[in-house]
Copies of this chain bind each other. A is one copy, B any other.
Amino acid sequence: MTRISRYPVPSLAELPEDIRARILEVQEKAGFVPNVFVTLAHRPDEFRAFFAYHDALMLKEGALSKAEREMIVVATSGANDCLYCVVAHGAILRIYSKNPLLADQVAVNYRKADLSPRQRAMLAFAIKVASDSAAIDDADFDALRAHGFADEDIWDIGAIAAFFALSNRMANMISMRPNDEFYLLGRAPRS
């Protein structure tokens, strides 16, 4: 069987109760267990912090839609050449956006994607946080404000890009493999 991580992958039985519960809940909802859960469960404390952080950014209320948050993930993961995150979050983006084309567009080149100018500005900022954060300055904030983003929205954009800077590096380091299921999810055309 194909390895899904360079590191040992714990079985559900050997996991702490809270982590097993989280995984079973995801499995219930998605129909399968995304590999990020079982591969990162190799380190329970890091697992708990990772998903607490993820949830704080991706599940919170705010002006960014769920699809827009996933656009940030896919665009920055594309910039970081992270296979797991492009494939897994590409699937989630297709589902949230109900658009079967958008994820591949954003992963390859967000400038050519079917996005609004506001969304393109959002991704330009996210890519700058991902790739050249030391150069972020007032002009970058002003550019987003001109598109109607509040400062709290900008924090959200930057924090998601920053969190996936971590996530992409972990996935690349341990060679985390995307589940085969992700590749096809959400690809059925809009009806």
Contact = CB atoms under 8 A, between A and B. Distances in A.
B166 A104 contact: no
Nearest to A78: B108
A95 interface: no
Number of copies: 6
B50 A53 contact: yes
Interface residues of A, number: 66
Given A53-B50, A114-B2, A183-B101, A158 B173 contact: yes
B134 A111 contact: yes
Interface in A135-191: 135-137, 141, 151, 155, 158-159, 161-163, 165-170, 172-175, 177, 180, 183-184, 187, 189
Interface of A: 2, 6-7, 42-43, 45-46, 48-50, 52-53, 55-57, 60, 78, 80-83, 86-87, 90, 100-101, 104-105, 107-109, 111-114, 129-130, 133-137, 141, 151, 155, 158-159, 161-163, 165-170, 172-175, 177, 180, 183-184, 187, 189
